[in-house]
Chains A and B, each alone.
Chain A
Amino acid sequence: MKLINIKKLALVSTSMLVLATGCKTDFDINASEENLTAGSLNYRDVMPSAIASTAKIVAADWKFLQNWLGYWARSGNYQNDTEEESYTFTNTFPGGGGNPWNDLYYNSSSYNFVQQRAQASGDGFYEAICRIMKSHNFQILTDVYGNIPYKEALKGNDVRNPKYDNGVDIYNDIFRQLDTAIAILKDPAKTDPSKNGKIATNDLVFKGNPALWVKFANTLKLRMLVHCKGGGVEVGDAEYTTSGVDIAAEMAIINAEGSGFLGAGETAKINPGYSASKPSPLYRFFALNENGVLAGLGDLTKANAFACGLGTAGTPGYYRWNGDPREGKFYVKPDLNPDAGVFQPATYQKGIPYGAVSGFAPGYTGVDLSSINVINLTAPNTGLTPQGPSSDSWILSSVESLFLQAEAAHRGIITGDAESLLTSAIRESFVFMGLTTAQADTYISNNATYPDVDYNADALDPSLPGGGLFTILSQKWFALNGIATYEIWTDFRRTNIVYGAGGGYDVVNAGIWANQLSILGGAAAEIPVRLFYPQSEYSYNEANVSAQGTIDVFTSKIFWDR
């Protein structure tokens, strides 16, 4: 009996051992079969999405500026956005659709990832594009927020509390980043398409054309150099140059390089295949989304009375003031005409004063008002979305490049004829909006002697500015409506003027902001010169952001702002 038991035990024990160890099981199974990780994707395929995101930020993150700068306004049947409209915003502004800080840092993180991978594997073209695009993002961030994390930014866990760099230092480093990128782009060995796999398709902007990327980089440099020149628009206002940026030396580098800037027809734009089910960003956020449903922001956004007037004969908007045919491209007349008895011809555009609260006046809601062009679904596609949802989305337009060149020439940053560059810029704007150069020329000749159109016009009144720089900046306001609003904001901040119509609207004294509010009988107020740092910095990078001191959005200026 004892013997049997031992045998049995031995058998059972042996079998147990066999069972327990019989299957040599693999425990190296924790890498995902479905989720994409850094190890399981081709890093090059990150770049198209990053570029598309930049285009989205350019097109859709600036509703508040469109409103502040007199282009758009809130439809009267929505409750007011107190923060945005009374400028009493906090560090969570702007929330909702897009926040420039969060979007631009996150977008830059994508470029950073591709840049590092490309550098490690010697894919120069990818590296150069990412350096340029990252520079583009940091240039905008600096212009909006001033001193920001830069050298220590985008380092994830390695630097959880990045220090802030001075805006001027960031500008100066961006010049060098662009130099590096240009050097790579001009080295055929490094941009060889066979080495830079998929570059012709993954470069959504210039399809693998290094020469155009060099021009893009130079234009970006020019944008920054022009930012560093301020003032000089109003009567008696002296021009100034921001200290810390050596404009002449930087210009010498650009000239030595020799490729020049983006010219007519060379807009940095993308169209990866936008369609009704994959609408381009402006259309998606302000017209119909991919489900064919009116986008949330679309319904909210109407024409501003400053740009389009109140719909009465006596108060045309400033596009109409000069008979500017672009008005019909940026705006579409009201769907319905229920106010025939109240208003003058229903053919007039009709805007709403920005800040008008519900009950401002009858007929200032929804269908009574001009839409911003992209929204009007019954009108044919024109203006900024000439192909509707399939329209191109831009990052840096040839129109802006020409305006930058005109101003640079006027201010002597570059050599060239400011007036002819301005004419090219206006023509390019007309073409950009689906009009002709002939219409541009008619517009210019029709408005001879008006300083907001005619470069050579005299001031209408000795206290008001004449043509020249004033004309360039006025025309830039007309041209870049919805295209590069942050640049118009920057122009306002560094020159204190956005637009002066024939009647002479001066921002400080009776500016559009005061005008907007005075329609309502409100107090005059300037618009902010910067945004607060976001709440996430105060929550998670507190020591460093606090070192920037107390931020006042009306007085804490960006380094190039006098």
Chain B
Amino acid sequence: MRRFLAFFAVLMLSGLLASAQSRVISGQVRDIPGEPVKFATVTETGTKNMVQTDANGSFSIRVAGTNSTLTVTAVGYDAQVVTPSGTTAIANLVRNTQEMTAVVVTSLGQVRQKSSLGYSTATVKTKELTQANPVNLQNGLVGKVSGLNVATTNSGVLGTTRITLRGIRSLTGNNQPMLVIDGVPTPLGFLNSLNPNDIADVSLLKSASATVVYGPDGVNGAIIVTTKRGSKQKPMITVSQTTQFEKIAYMPEFQDRFGSGYNQDANTGQGTFTPYEQQSWGDEFDGSIRQMGQTGPNGEKLLLPYSNVANGRKNFFQTGITSQTDISYSTGDFYLSAQNVSITGTLPGDRNDRKTVAMNASKEYNRFKASFNARLTNSKYDVTTANAQTYYNVTGAPGQYDLSRFKNWRSDYFSSPDGYFTPYLTNFFRTPYMAKDINRQKGKTNDVIGNVELNYKATNWLNFVYRIGGSATFGDAKSTTEAYTPSAYHLTLTDASATTISAAASYASSNSSRFSSELFANFNTKYKKLGITGTIGQSFRQANSVNLGLGSGNLGQSTFLSIQNRIGEPSVSAGSSISRLSRWFANASFNWDGWANLEVTGSYDKDSKNAPTDGSTFANSDISYFYPGVNASVLLHKVIPALESNKYISYLKLRGAYSKTGNVPLVAQESPTFSIGTFFPYGSTLGYNVPTSIYKRQFNPEFVYNKEVGIELGLMKNKINFEATYYSQNNTDQVLDLALANSTGYTTSKLNAAEFNNNGLELDLKLTPIFKMGDLSIDFKANYTYQTSKVTKLVDGLNQIGIGNYNWVIVGQPVYKFRVFDYIRDSATGKVIVGADGMPTVNPNLTTFGRTTPNNILGLSLNANYKGFSLSVVAEYRGGNQIVVDQLGAFLDDNGISTRSAQYGRRAFVWPNSVTYDGTKYVENTNVYTTQYNREFWNSDLNTTAITNYLVSGAFWKLREVSLTYELPNRLFKGNNVLRGITVGITGRNLLTWLPKTNQWTDPEFSSNGNSAFTGNAQGRSTAYNLPPTRIFGANVVFQF
């Protein structure tokens, strides 16, 4: 508080000193189509008195003379002189170049001319972002920018995404970029609470060179979000409604020939029918009516045709509906918006409701400007906690059932856990409908973000900015399990193994907050041909969090699911964290004659997370690091005479950047922790377990040395824009959890243990327009990313380290590569060796396979406009990686449900691409048939432990977005004082997916790390926790008043 008051006092004082003999002219700068031009410079002609337009193109300037004219300049537009009429002035600028010369919002919320930057950036405008009405900002970015990889790692109402820019820089730490909203660094999780319709534009700063002033927070690049501000035009109210439907796009491939059964006929080797079997090793479907399951207590029998039901499993899921209602009000100084999103999932019963209100306001007084914005988001969700088991039970069901038959499990005997067709499902999850219904989590999250910015323009060449921002998240969730007791009759059934389930309830409450302040001075001056701009400042950030949990797994048979009903002691937990980061930063940019630019940056960080966690003393220098950076660019078309007059090349820029940053790989207070022993304390007897991991006292940050060079080219009066960037990052001091042999007393040791580099190429091509005839114009954009990496060093002279989920770090190889079990192969041909019995052997040693993340990403987008119609299409390709679907794949094979398990009709087959030993050498196998071919093979370790059976190409093409909108002609609203415009549209997302034929299972983007965190570094392995992939389509209408 002390800081704030002091600064405020100074500002008040300086305000008093300002001259009062002048008038204020306000107005707006637009381009010829009428879109506001932000960050244009408005100068009182012939003076150095100048201001910049805001995000809505609005400005106000205090001029001295009564007849002053204003000169309006903006990058990418021809300069214009306007004469104010009274106290207002409107400028309509003519565009002279295209986007590549536009301005971009960079770190600290500062606006820079793109042409002067030595590093790579990209901007996505609101229209492009929201054209397919995504619920989240990150979904709106997919496929639109090179270097960006947004992977939707699960479907479901809480859909999780993992975002990386330029691959990874940390083997085990955070690789996701930072989020900056209106200049305020904000936790990345807030992406999910932002209303995409409130966003004016998004800049992506792709490397640490662009974010040096953010120090460790910016090491993975940054997503810079600028929200909409009030416009100085007539007040405008926008109301829109979007309804979208989400359907299961596809399920894993199932066999449709064999129904339930477990045993094989000893004579024929073919499966025999078992009415109550969960697995599908039965005889072939023949359409006969058979009794399924076991007879009920009153002699009831479930009689069904023994034939495959198409979509019998898919029918378990429903069409999810997302309804979004938006309203916004925009006027002189402020912008208000409210949004209500309600999502019902494809998993029946799952829902998520989100409400957001936001306000942006600003006020100018002389040289002083203050702005304020605040945003509150409330999410309420109700989801099952038995995703995996539910999906298992659905996908595992034999083909003769339409699962929707078993919906009413509480009332219908054959749908109930007592009478379900199989007694073999795990106790808590005896039917899929029961599993999802008795295991629930309901929760609420409230996200609040606010910031205040004070801007003081001390002189024409110097201004000060003080910004204080805060964000807070309050979450609570209650998870419950309903009790169940099997009926006495159930226990008399064959193989009944159900037992009593106790009811359970647990509660989790967490809140976290982050406050940050930044104070900096911008200077901008010119000495002859040398322009100097720069920033010097200081920032501070503090993050706190507290989380509390309590629960009981034993509420007995109570139906009132409250911890008040517990039997025995509750489980309790408490955690908290705090961290502080203080930073001094400066940058200076030297511009020579408008064509050469050199910028140096530096940041001096002091991070509490670098301090030892055992309370031991440390020096200031132990936790402080200096991070330098330099970047430069030249505009060759301005200096090379041959280019100046060239009629094809209108723009040519070369750029380069170098920086060093550090990523602090530990979370605050991370240290080896003693856990409380099982059931301790017993009364007053305490009991702790020693940690299983051991840490160094203190770590080095993971240093990232970023180098990049780029070229930007404009052809044909910039109708064709091309941009290419090559980058190379060396990442040292990687912190790894090195697995230890248990005989050391520990299982892991955290160490600075590895070094790797990553590099890549990013290409962006824009043809605007690619085609134009009359009112029809078509734009085309393409972006391509190639990224690779190489591990250069590991600790202890190790050659490889596994980080889980089959992801391995191997010296000399890209990070990460799969290492999995394969069959023993003939080294000469690479073919599987089969024995005299026709069967292969699993190699007990792991074999290295391909990359776990894509190295080729191609995004294509097409935009067509004809009168009021606008069509846009975005498609994306990713490839070069492999995925492992072992959990789902092996599960389906074990159960005899998969296409694989029936591909040879459950008869003997010649192992494809195999060789046999003829006594002297390996020869092509054409006639040695497998001696195991039914359940004894497909449901055996020989099949399912060879993970290569589930290792396939991770490539895909996806039609990410299709939208068609129509803006009703303006003339319809002429003379209408209320309604000013209507736009209608239809949209679709992920409508089509093309997968390689070998991928029979699921979306290659899906991933799991452990059970719930889908965003970790070990990618490429999906599990049954991932719901089936979905496609989304819908319609929307927008009214403007």
| Chain A neighbourhood of B615, CB < 8 A | 31, 39-40
| Chain B neighbourhood of A112, CB < 8 A | 745
Q: Is the CB of B677 within 8 A of A278?
A: no
Q: Is the CB of B690 within 8 A of A110?
A: yes
| Chain A neighbourhood of B983, CB < 8 A | none
Q: In whole angstroms, what is the CA distance A290 to B1015 when docked?
A: 33
Supposing A8-B14, A37-B614, A49-B677 touch, asked if A110 and B743 sit within 8 A by C-beta, the answer is: no
Q: Is the CB of A27 within 8 A of B580?
A: yes
Q: Is the CB of B568 within 8 A of A278?
A: yes
Shortest distance from the beta carbon of A440 to any chain B beta carbon, whole Å: 34
A5 CB-CB contact with B under 8 Å: yes
Q: Is the CB of A272 within 8 A of B580?
A: no
Shortest distance from the beta carbon of B62 to any chain A beta carbon, whole Å: 15
Supposing A39-B614, A46-B688, A540-B740 touch, asked if A9 and B495 sit within 8 A by C-beta, the answer is: no
Q: Is the CB of A15 within 8 A of B7?
A: yes
B660 CB-CB contact with A under 8 Å: no
A461 CB-CB contact with B under 8 Å: no
| Chain B neighbourhood of A56, CB < 8 A | 678
Shortest distance from the beta carbon of A195 to any chain B beta carbon, whole Å: 19
Q: Is the CB of A20 within 8 A of B17?
A: no
A202 CB-CB contact with B under 8 Å: yes
A260 CB-CB contact with B under 8 Å: no
Q: Is the CB of B568 within 8 A of A276?
A: yes
Q: Is the CB of A30 within 8 A of B497?
A: no
Supposing A19-B7, A53-B689, A101-B742 touch, asked if A32 and B500 sit within 8 A by C-beta, the answer is: no
Q: Which listed residue, A5, A7, A30, touches B609 by the CB 8 Å rule?
A: A30
Q: Which listed residue, B519, B675, B741, touches A540 by the CB 8 Å rule?
A: B741
Which one of B80-88, B570-578, B964-972 is at the interface?
A: B570-578
For the complex, count residues of B whose C-beta is within 8 A of A.
99
Task: Bits for A99-118, please: 1 = Cβ < 8 Å to B, else 0.
Answer: 00110011011101100000
- In residues 138-164 of chain A, which contact B (Cβ within 8 Å)? 148-149, 153-157, 159-162
A263 CB-CB contact with B under 8 Å: no
Q: Is the CB of A48 within 8 A of B685?
A: yes
| Chain B neighbourhood of A28, CB < 8 A | 608, 611, 618
Shortest distance from the beta carbon of A86 to any chain B beta carbon, whole Å: 12
Q: Is the CB of A34 within 8 A of B576?
A: yes
Q: Is the CB of B568 within 8 A of A157?
A: no
A365 CB-CB contact with B under 8 Å: yes
Q: Is the CB of B745 within 8 A of A277?
A: no
Q: In whole angstroms, what is the CA distance A217 to B677 when docked?
A: 25
B696 CB-CB contact with A under 8 Å: yes
Q: Is the CB of B678 within 8 A of A11?
A: no
B458 CB-CB contact with A under 8 Å: yes
B692 CB-CB contact with A under 8 Å: yes
A201 CB-CB contact with B under 8 Å: yes
Task: Bits for B361-405, please: 1 = Cβ < 8 Å to A, else 0.
Answer: 000000000000000000000000000000000000000000000
A95 CB-CB contact with B under 8 Å: no
Chain B residue at minimum C-beta to C-beta distance from A537: B741
- In residues 24-43 of chain A, which contact B (Cβ within 8 Å)? 25-42
Supposing A106-B742, A277-B569, A290-B554 touch, asked if A23 and B3 sit within 8 A by C-beta, the answer is: yes
Q: Is the CB of A30 within 8 A of B686?
A: no
Chain A residue at minimum C-beta to C-beta distance from B692: A106
| Chain B neighbourhood of A340, CB < 8 A | none
B20 CB-CB contact with A under 8 Å: no
Q: In whole angstroms, what is the CA distance A8 to B679 when docked?
A: 66
Q: In whole angstroms, what is the CA distance A82 to B582 when docked?
A: 59
Shortest distance from the beta carbon of B454 to any chain A beta carbon, whole Å: 11
Task: Bits for B182-224, please: 1 = Cβ < 8 Å to A, else 0.
Answer: 0000000000000000000000000000000000000000000
Q: Which listed residue, A49, A156, A292, A534, touches B688 by the CB 8 Å rule?
A: A49
Task: Bits for B542-582, please: 1 = Cβ < 8 Å to A, else 0.
Answer: 00000000000110100000000001110000111111101
Q: Is the CB of B608 within 8 A of A291?
A: no
Q: Is the CB of A154 within 8 A of B679?
A: no
Q: Is the CB of B519 within 8 A of A162?
A: no
Chain A residue at minimum C-beta to C-beta distance from B749: A157
Q: Is the CB of B739 within 8 A of A536?
A: yes
| Chain B neighbourhood of A539, CB < 8 A | 739, 741, 802
| Chain A neighbourhood of B686, CB < 8 A | 42, 45, 48
Supposing A5-B459, A19-B466, A201-B684 touch, asked if A275 and B612 sit within 8 A by C-beta, the answer is: no
Q: Is the CB of A366 within 8 A of B497?
A: yes
Q: Is the CB of B741 within 8 A of A161?
A: yes
Q: Is the CB of B671 within 8 A of A37?
A: yes
Q: Is the CB of A534 within 8 A of B682?
A: no
B502 CB-CB contact with A under 8 Å: yes
B10 CB-CB contact with A under 8 Å: yes
Q: Which listed residue, A12, A46, A48, touches B690 by the CB 8 Å rule?
A: A46
Dominant SS among interface residues on chain B: mixed
Supposing A16-B521, A299-B499 touch, asked if A27 and B744 sit within 8 A by C-beta, the answer is: no
A341 CB-CB contact with B under 8 Å: no
Q: Is the CB of B575 within 8 A of A35?
A: yes
| Chain B neighbourhood of A358, CB < 8 A | 262
| Chain A neighbourhood of B495, CB < 8 A | 77, 365-366
Task: Bits for B472-493, please: 1 = Cβ < 8 Å to A, else 0.
Answer: 0000000000000000000110
Chain B residue at minimum C-beta to C-beta distance from A46: B688
Q: Which listed residue, A11, A25, A109, touches B582 by the CB 8 Å rule?
A: A25
Q: Is the CB of A34 within 8 A of B575?
A: yes
Q: In whole angstroms, what is the CA distance A26 to B618 when docked?
A: 12
A251 CB-CB contact with B under 8 Å: no
- In residues 78-132 of chain B, which contact A (Cβ within 8 Å)? none
- In residues 253-287 of chain A, which contact B (Cβ within 8 Å)? 272-273, 275-278
Chain A residue at minimum C-beta to C-beta distance from B741: A541
Chain B residue at minimum C-beta to C-beta distance from A104: B742
B1013 CB-CB contact with A under 8 Å: no
| Chain B neighbourhood of A11, CB < 8 A | 10, 13-14
Q: Is the CB of A156 within 8 A of B745?
A: yes
Shortest distance from the beta carbon of A272 to any chain B beta carbon, whole Å: 4
Q: Is the CB of B742 within 8 A of A534?
A: yes
A120 CB-CB contact with B under 8 Å: no
Q: Is the CB of A105 within 8 A of B568?
A: no
Chain B residue at minimum C-beta to C-beta distance from A156: B694
Q: Is the CB of B744 within 8 A of A162?
A: yes
A22 CB-CB contact with B under 8 Å: yes
Shortest distance from the beta carbon of B895 to any chain A beta carbon, whole Å: 13
Shortest distance from the beta carbon of A156 to any chain B beta carbon, whole Å: 4
Q: Is the CB of A36 within 8 A of B673?
A: yes
Chain A residue at minimum C-beta to C-beta distance from B577: A32
B464 CB-CB contact with A under 8 Å: yes
- In residues 41-69 of chain A, which contact B (Cβ within 8 Å)? 41-42, 45-50, 52-53, 56
| Chain B neighbourhood of A36, CB < 8 A | 673-676, 688
B978 CB-CB contact with A under 8 Å: no
Task: Bits for A355-366, please: 1 = Cβ < 8 Å to B, else 0.
Answer: 000110000011
Q: Which listed residue, A31, A42, A537, touches B743 by the CB 8 Å rule?
A: A537
Q: Is the CB of B743 within 8 A of A162?
A: yes
B136 CB-CB contact with A under 8 Å: no
Supposing A22-B2, A37-B671, A48-B686 touch, asked if A290 and B568 sit within 8 A by C-beta, the answer is: yes
Shortest distance from the beta carbon of A49 to any chain B beta carbon, whole Å: 3
A294 CB-CB contact with B under 8 Å: yes
A4 CB-CB contact with B under 8 Å: yes
List, sorted by A's number, 10 A–B pairs whose CB atoms are closer than 8 Å: A5-B459, A16-B464, A16-B538, A31-B612, A37-B673, A46-B690, A156-B744, A162-B743, A291-B502, A537-B743
Enumerate the 3 nearest inter-chain pairs by beta-carbon distance, A residue then B residue, closest first: A277-B568, A49-B677, A49-B687
Beyond the given pairs A41-B674, A110-B690, 13 more chain A to chain B contacts, judged by CB atoms under 8 angstroms and listed by A's residue number, are A8-B458, A27-B611, A30-B609, A30-B669, A34-B575, A37-B673, A49-B677, A50-B689, A52-B680, A105-B743, A160-B741, A273-B683, A293-B502
Binding site for B on A (CB under 8 A): 4-5, 7-9, 11-12, 15-16, 18-20, 22-23, 25-42, 45-50, 52-53, 56, 77, 82, 90, 101-102, 105-106, 108-110, 112-113, 148-149, 153-157, 159-162, 201-202, 204, 272-273, 275-278, 290-294, 299, 336, 338, 358-359, 365-367, 534, 536-537, 539-541, 545
